[in-house]
Structure 1
């Protein structure tokens, strides 16, 4: 028996453009935050930087493996 697909209103919302959230984050008024909140923000952003670096390392590892397999490196 085939399962019927359900569509929610969230599925119909347009996706934000790449980098739009980062742009909005950079425009945010930091004067509204306390020192504690700014430290928490730094921790969260540091975590996001670490996540991005891990993604880069993973992509580089896959590229290196593909280069080695197909010998594009030489």
Structure 2
């Protein structure tokens, strides 16, 4: 086992406000990819919640 194999793997997370100066360009690109995927996931959930709310509103809206 080499020294590199013994080191723990870096986390794929990103903490907002982290000092970026010690992070490689490749790792920064990876973080951007992860963040874009998370944004897409959040936007999809917002869309689902909006659809559910509209459906509930139309069902429970008073009939005039």
Normalised TM-score (structure 1): 0.61
For residues 13-46 of structure 1, give each alpha carbon's deviation from its aligned partner in whole angstroms, at most 9, with x where no partner exists.
xxxxxxxxxxx81121111111111000000000
From 27, 30, 36, the counterpart of 2:17: 27
For residues 49-74 of structure 1, give each alpha carbon's deviation from its aligned partner in whole angstroms, at most 9, with x where no partner exists.
001101100110100000111126x8
State whether structure 2 residue 63 is matched by structure 1 residue 63.
no
Flag the structure with more relative contact order, 1 or 2, with Cα contacts below 8 A and sequence separation at least 6: 2
Normalised TM-score (structure 2): 0.69
Name 1:7's counterpart in structure 2. none
Q: In the comparison of the two structures, how many residue pairs are matched?
A: 50
Aligned-CA RMSD value: 1.9
Q: Which has the higher helix share?
A: 1
